[in-house]
Structure 1
Amino acid sequence: MRRTRFNNGATLLTRDMPMSSSVSIEVILRAGSAAETHGEYGAAHLLEHIMMRGTGSAAASRADAFDRMASHPTAHTFKEHIRLAATVPFEASDFGVGSLLEMMSTPATQGTVFDAERAAVDLELAQMSGNDIARAVLATEASIFASTAFARPAGGTREDIKSLDLSNLNAYRSRALVASNMIIAASGRVNHSAIADAVEMRLQGLAPRAALPAQREKSKTFASKSIEMTSGSDVSTVVVGFHAPPARSSETDVVRVLDCLLSGGHGSHLHRTLRLQRAIAYSTDSTYSRHSNAGSLILYARIAHSNREEVAENLLQSMHDIANGRFSDSDLDRAKHYLYSGTIVSRDDNSRVARSIGLSELLGTHCAHSRVTLEKVAGVSADDLAVVAAKILDSGHCTVVIGAPRARSENERR
């Protein structure tokens, strides 16, 4: 991997994969929802939409060029960053880098674009409100990260977007959109020097002010709680969330193995116990999310007719099982192989490699060669898993249940 730090503070990282015929590019802005201040909530999400939209003939010409390459740029807003990404043929790498940098560094926030994209974001959030898993995760994170900037939804709420005005959006933009907040990552058949020249030229107009400080979490523990929400669906969703080690923790690799032990495939702990043995859930999953100074581990189950409280208790019990060493050597070996295979496969995927090296720079973690990562995973022991699972349990947990309104009993109807 090659790395260039420019005088204005921007950073370029590339990984050459000579046998590839394409280049995947990630342009990351070190500012997401956690960098918003009061009155700016939702600004990161709206700014991302405006970046993707563009204006005038230049934007239309750029969109046509991407179409001719069958390339579809994507954009997402997270708690600590906004990202634009695209994969283009090797011969078009200068165009790809230049286009994404232009989209990110010169968003047109004038009134007509502002109004149009604010309506688009509001519609997107309205559609998301029908996703029970997304609702449950948002409620869980609000509890886990209470009183910190991580508690707010990365995309804002409909109320945030409707109350956001142009002056507050521009205040967020001027504070966030500086060269020192820019990370450019490229993987595939890359020419580092050529990309460096393109980056330097495109970012000449951006101010080289200091990057926004990393968000700090105020507390690693919270009072355990349960939240019940209603849905029009006949299917219920049960989520149990915990604090987990942040990206820079020495325990990250242990939690990655723990995540795979819980939900990595059909032999995973959750699938085996909740679906195959007890038949109380028809799908299960878990997600380990890492931020620079915070993390979460969230367990999910989707159920049709099962007792919701029983499912929630079983999700929580799964963590207690691991904390108490109630898993076999075969379970641990299967989880390691699941993670090992995923790491091997991702090495040949340009877009995943670009994403990985960009995020490593963002989060301040060392982007190790996959061989080193695999060695760390291989060294995770059963005792390591039990100790870290116990620590996660000690931090408290939040249970969220979403389902159709319960039928009232005869006594309640009276």
Structure 2
Amino acid sequence: MLKTTLANGLCLLTETMPHTRSVTASVFLATGSRYETDEIAGAAHFIEHMCFKGTASYPTPREIATAIEGVGGSLNGGTDKELTVYWAKVPDFHFATALKVLSEMVTSPRFEPEEMTKERNVIIEEISMSLDYPPARSEMLIDELLWPGHPLGRDIAGTKKSVSAISLDDLLGFLSIRYIPQKTVVSLAGNIEHETALELVNKAFGNWPQAPVPPVSLPYRRQMPPGRIRVEKKDIEQTNICLALPALPVEDPRRFQLDLMNVILGEGSSSRLFCEIRDKLGLTYNIQSHLSYYLDAGSLNVYAATEPQNLATLIRAILEQIHRLRDDIPEDELKKARELSKGRLLLRMEDSRNVSGYNGSQEILTGKVLSVDEVSRRLEAVTADQVRQLARELVSDDNLRLAAVGPVDIDLESLLKL
């Protein structure tokens, strides 16, 4: 991977993949929902939607989409809590077109009032869809428990009330502060050389003027929530639960220990949760664990769903597997987790979009990129004792949080202990 910083502060990353016939261009910006105030919650996500509504050269959403899809490519974007990304994957000989589309979307989008009105309705429908989808709703509720009173605890899309109140001036003001070249990474991967890419990126983004760097976000200070449990009763077939523990921030050197702990617990069909709770006990169809990493916070989450009469048994079984992490990490299981992690990372790197995202997301969040080989070395260095020690630090009754969506007619508080 090669890195160059343009005169205006924009960072360019390139990784040449000569065996491919594609190029993926990803534009990462250091902005997301944690940088919003409560009054404009959802603004970062709203802006991401509006950037697809038209530019000077592509004045309508259809013309933007056609510029990429008309050459066989794909175009999309996404807003997270600490970053926003726009990406396009195209055949290598159409790379210049993809770069032109992305640069105009980010540096000079057209925010027409009529389009904003329509897109506001689209986003409200998106929020309604999430509220109606129990797995997504349980994740929203667990975030509120993990990070109470902080922007990290809000849904990325905002609320219907906040989105309804956001004005055009609100969006343009947020855009002018957060969309600046010094806080932007253009990450390219595929069949392209660095010097060629640098010339084209300078042409597309070089005239984007610098602006004052915005202040850092509201730091997270860990605090106990008013309660450890959130329940939203719904008349549906299953009760969906999310059980979580506060964990590590993205630059904590122990994150590789946590990565392997998560694999052992709930990643894949050979994980403890899957083997014990689905295969052995037959309590659920889908059970998994995943990690969230932020600049100054993080979490370990477990999701599952079951029929209401099995809810207590399911929660006890999950807690038993979480508690086992404190003392029971056999060397063969750690080796399997290590090989799964390394293997899946290597396989992801066969696709230009994944390589572009892997490099760009690291650079925008931490200012550096760990190579696949370096990540593999750090995973190899993790010991079973380190995983056990970290589990003993993270896994405790006080740290447990539980969100449930669906039929609930039992005392969850009495169950929430190891």
Indicate the residue corresponding to 2:361 in structure 1. 359
Q: Determine if contact 2:56/2:104 at 8 Å carries over to the other structure.
A: no
Indicate the residue corresponding to 2:5 in structure 1. 5
Q: Determine if contact 1:35/1:212 at 8 Å carries over to the other structure.
A: no
- Rounded to whole Å, the distance in 2 between the matches of 1:283 and 1:112 is 42
- Rounded to whole Å, the distance in 1 between the matches of 2:130 and 2:392 is 34
Give CA deviations for 1:320-377 in whole Å, capped at 9, x if unaligned. Answer: 1101x22433322221121121011022111111101111111216422212211211
- Rounded to whole Å, the distance in 1 between the matches of 2:260 and 2:107 is 38
Indicate the residue corresponding to 1:24 in structure 2. 24
Q: Determine if contact 1:248/1:363 at 8 Å carries over to the other structure.
A: no
Which residue type is aligned with residue 10 of structure 1? L
- Rounded to whole Å, the distance in 2 between the matches of 1:29 and 1:185 is 11
Q: Determine if contact 2:145/2:229 at 8 Å carries over to the other structure.
A: no
The structure 2 residue matched to 1:180, chosen from 166, 179, 182, is 182
- Rounded to whole Å, the distance in 2 between the matches of 1:139 and 1:305 is 19
Residue 380 of structure 1: SS of its match in structure 2? coil
The structure 2 residue matched to 1:403, chosen from 387, 391, 406, is 406
Unaligned runs of 5+ in 2: 411-418
- Rounded to whole Å, the distance in 1 between the matches of 2:335 and 2:211 is 48
The structure 1 residue matched to 2:148, chosen from 146, 149, 153, is 146
2:278 is the alignment partner of 1:249: no
2:232 is the alignment partner of 1:229: yes
- Rounded to whole Å, the distance in 2 between the matches of 1:362 and 1:215 is 18
2:279 is the alignment partner of 1:276: yes
The structure 1 residue matched to 2:293, chosen from 290, 295, 305, is 290
Which residue type is aligned with residue 271 of structure 1? F
- Rounded to whole Å, the distance in 1 between the matches of 2:312 and 2:218 is 35
Task: Return the offset for 1:196.
Answer: 2.2
Task: Return the offset for 1:95.
Answer: 1.3
Indicate the residue corresponding to 2:415 in structure 1. none
Distance 1:316 1:307, change over 3 A: same
- Rounded to whole Å, the distance in 2 between the matches of 1:346 and 1:302 is 29
The structure 1 residue matched to 2:195, chosen from 190, 193, 196, is 193
Task: Return the offset for 1:138.
Answer: 0.9
- Rounded to whole Å, the distance in 2 between the matches of 1:232 and 1:224 is 24
Give CA deviations for 1:80-136 in whole Å, capped at 9, x if unaligned. Answer: 111111111111111112211111121222311211111111111111111111111
Indicate the residue corresponding to 1:337 in structure 2. 339
Indicate the residue corresponding to 1:162 in structure 2. 164
2:267 is the alignment partner of 1:264: yes
- Rounded to whole Å, the distance in 2 between the matches of 1:289 and 1:54 is 33
Task: Return the offset for 1:223.
Answer: 6.9
Q: Determine if contact 1:239/1:401 at 8 Å carries over to the other structure.
A: yes
Give CA deviations for 1:165-191 in whole Å, capped at 9, x if unaligned. Answer: 222222211111211121110111122
- Rounded to whole Å, the distance in 1 between the matches of 2:6 and 2:318 is 48
Residue 305 of structure 2: SS of its match in structure 1? strand
Which residue type is aligned with residue 279 of structure 1? G
The structure 2 residue matched to 1:315, chosen from 318, 322, 334, is 318
Give CA deviations for 1:239-298 in whole Å, capped at 9, x if unaligned. Answer: 111111111010111111111111222221101221222222222101111112221110
Counterpart mapping for 1:380-399 below 5 A: 380-394=382-396, 396-399=399-402
Indicate the residue corresponding to 2:414 in structure 1. none
- Rounded to whole Å, the distance in 2 between the matches of 1:82 and 1:48 is 8
Residue 256 of structure 2: SS of its match in structure 1? helix
Indicate the residue corresponding to 1:119 in structure 2. 121
Distance 1:126 1:89, change over 3 A: same
Residue 238 of structure 1: SS of its match in structure 2? strand
Indicate the residue corresponding to 1:375 in structure 2. 377
- Rounded to whole Å, the distance in 1 between the matches of 2:191 and 2:17 is 5
Q: Determine if contact 2:184/2:364 at 8 Å carries over to the other structure.
A: no
Q: Determine if contact 1:40/1:172 at 8 Å carries over to the other structure.
A: no
- Rounded to whole Å, the distance in 2 between the matches of 1:114 and 1:3 is 36
Identity of aligned residues (%): 20
Unaligned runs of 5+ in 1: 408-414
- Rounded to whole Å, the distance in 2 between the matches of 1:213 and 1:193 is 33
